[in-house]
Structure 1
Amino acid sequence: MMIEAVIWDFGGVLTTSPFEAFARFERERGFPTDIIRRTNAANHLENAWAKFERAEIDIDGFDKLFAAESLALGAEVRGRDVLPLLAGDLRPEMVEALKRINAKFKTGCITNNLPANAIGSAAGRGLYIAEVMALFDHVIESAKIGLRKPDPRIYEMMVEALKVDPKRCVYLDDLGINLKPARAMGMTTIKVTSAAQAIAELEAATALKLT
């Protein structure tokens, strides 16, 4: 079946993954390995991370709740200390792939993000990210709509906005749990582990040369 649209996650797909920053932070502070990722994964639909990405709590609330949840798993990590670790670097090869795909197909971005100003960033970086986001035909941000992946409704909102059949869509994400609802709808899914791997699978799915 011919592809009509490519839908992207943002962090960990168009940017580098924060997982390396998590691991470095844990080593430097002497925290248990993967304490941040384990805290994020525990009760993943209603934990501090989920509530913050739906803008149900503010930074202070996130800081306290994340600290309590991580302490229950073995070590108290303040939520405020985790936030700066999220600012990954844009992957230029993925941005180039997006530009080439955008010239041929509809494009969308579904991102689980945080309320505005939750992560400090340099003005220049923020401007460049805004330019990348402007490439998409439609963007859905969890913090703006109070809904986050993997809730199936957020994927339904995207295909409705793009006016496409999910069976004619490709969806990219770096988290397997976020790929499952898209796959259940009939989308071709790509789990991003590296830029090179993702681009190779995108080329196979779209029959486009992306590098």
Structure 2
Amino acid sequence: MSTSTAPSSASSDADSLNHDENPIKAVIFDYGEVMWMQSRNVHVYRKIEEDNKLFDNSLIPTLVSKELSSILPKGFQEDLLTGIYTAKDFDRLFLSAYNRKFGSQVESLKFFSATEYDNDAVYEEAVLTACQKLRERGVKTILMLDTYHVDEKRNGRRIPNMEKYFDHVIESCKEGVKKPDPRFYQIALDCVDVQPEEVIYIDDSKINCESAAVLGIRYIQVFNSMDMLEDLQEILGFDLD
């Protein structure tokens, strides 16, 4: 199997689950590497580079560069994802790092704040279909995002079309907490009024999964979507395709 599940009280062993006494009422999904895979969305980065007349294959190297890390304020990522900074704030710093790294003189750049490219994103269709099937069965679906405010209006990220698949979209920047803070998971539980044992949490991060398990939430750690969906179907006892 390519998925991992929580032990003991957070176990996802289908044989131990009594659907009458302890039904699953909600499934919480992470976004990155669950709904959206970076490897399948390289074309979006390429389009931003092309539209801004940047060097080919230059955005991702800048993201992990010493030029960027050296100018980000201490704790910037945490503060970005909990709503203190915005994507526009990040883009200003990123532009400075980009020009320093490549010796360029780019005057303006929308990267994290470039929501106009959101409709070009490619999602895991099998996972989206599963979300629709869950909702048809009366199981609440929640998208739990570590994300940022796009601009000074501070309206969050607002990824388009997610309302087709999720009953609730919870954004860290609006709540002021991010994963793996247990308070973020509790917000998700409260929004659908369920107990931890009535929920399955799905994420590719071991740390995030373990934080959910501390609250008594079953989890499936994702290594690929096919195995994750097989495990989810086994727990639920019905097909999702």
Q: TM over 0.5, yes or no?
A: yes
Distance change >3 Å, CA 99–CA 166, structure 1 → 2: same
User: Shift in Å at residue 19 of structure 1?
Assistant: 5.2
What stretches of structure 1 of length at least 5 have no aligned partner? 119-124
The count of residues paired between Structure 1 and Structure 2 equals 190
Distance change >3 Å, CA 30–CA 131, structure 1 → 2: closer
Is 1:61 aligned to 2:89, yes or no?
Answer: yes
Q: Which residue of 2 aligns with 1:18?
A: 38
- Cα distance in 1 between the residues matched to 2:150 and 2:89: 15
Q: 2:149 aligns with which of 115, 135, 149?
A: 115
Q: 2:197 aligns with which of 167, 172, 176?
A: 167
- Taking structure 1 as the reference length, the TM-score comes to 0.69
- Taking structure 2 as the reference length, the TM-score comes to 0.62
RMSD: 3.8
- Cα distance in 1 between the residues matched to 2:148 and 2:61: 25
> Relative CO higher for 1 or 2, CA cutoff 8 Å, sep ≥ 6?
2
Distance change >3 Å, CA 129–CA 168, structure 1 → 2: closer
- Cα distance in 1 between the residues matched to 2:179 and 2:92: 23
- Cα distance in 2 between the residues matched to 1:165 and 1:191: 20
What stretches of structure 2 of length at least 5 have no aligned partner? 1-16, 47-54, 103-108, 153-158
Alignment of structure 1 residues 1-211 onto 2, 5 Å: 1=17, 2=22, 3-14=24-35, 16-18=36-38, 28-29=57-58, 35=64, 46-47=75-76, 49-63=77-91, 81=111, 88-104=121-137, 105-116=139-150, 126=160, 128-132=161-165, 135-136=166-167, 138-211=168-241
Moved more, 198-207 or 86-95: 86-95
User: Shift in Å at residue 59 of structure 1?
Assistant: 3.1
- Cα distance in 2 between the residues matched to 1:203 and 1:167: 17
Q: Which residue of 2 aligns with 1:122?
A: none
Q: Which has the higher helix share?
A: 1
